[in-house]
Amino acid sequence: MNVRATSFDHPDAVKLNDRVQSEYAERYEHEGDATPLAPGMFEPPRGLYLIAYDDQGAPVGTGGWRTQEKNDEGYADGDAEIKRMYVTPEVRGHGLARRILAALEDDARAAGRTRMVLETGTKQPEAISLYLSSGYEPCAKFGHYRFHELSRCYAKSLVDATGEHMPATVPAEAV
């Protein structure tokens, strides 16, 4: 697998976003995720968008983070919010989502973010399992779906108890 930084509006990103939206619609029986997103939200240094490609060059996974600061939707200063984590069903179970997640955490940490946050839903038990096993803990709800019953929010500190940024979890060349 080859993981590369790209724009949120890259054709492969759009293709994978359409697939994840279809999966959301199937799982939640509605039209998909309505969180407002724009390509500029994922431009470094205020964010990053990654696409994973298989050995044949097909896009098979994606994920991004965007800067958040304290606001009326429940975010805190220093937050980096994970969006559009997705791995196609054909390649699930091989650690690709964990690799993308670690790369996003490392990039957000390098950008000076202090906490990684995400929102997922109860009908995505695989995602919840990934986040819990990666050190995320339930937190107060935030964001577009903060009032929805099926929404679950998680957070992970990117700094240690002294406020220092923790070391990277994946080698830079892996991204």
User: Could you give all domains of the chain from N- to C-terminal order, each with its CATH number?
Assistant: 2-174 (3.40.630.30)
Give percent of the chain with pLDDT exceeding 90: 82
Please write the tens of the pLDDT for every residue from 55-104: 999 999 999 999 999 999 999 999 999 999 999 999 999 999 999 999 99
pLDDT of residue 1: 86
- Other CB atoms within 10 A of residue 153 CB: 20
The span from the CA of 80 to the CA of 38, in Å, is 15
Length of the chain: 175
Please write the tens of the pLDDT for every residue from 12-57: 999 999 999 999 999 988 777 888 899 999 999 999 999 999 999 9
Closest CA to 156 of 109, 96, 124, 92: 109
The span from the CA of 37 to the CA of 84, in Å, is 10
Helix, strand, coil % in the chain, rounded to nearest 5: 30, 25, 45
Mean pLDDT of the chain: 91
Give percent of the chain with pLDDT exceeding 70: 91
Side chain identity at 164, as an amino acid letter?
E
pTM summary value: 0.90
The span from the CA of 83 to the CA of 121, in Å, is 13
Rounded to the nearest 10 degrees, how much is the dihedral formed by the CA atoms of 153, 135, 108, 163?
A: 110
Reply yes or no on whether the pLDDT at 174 is more than 60.
no
The span from the CA of 54 to the CA of 128, in Å, is 24
pLDDT of residue 173: 44
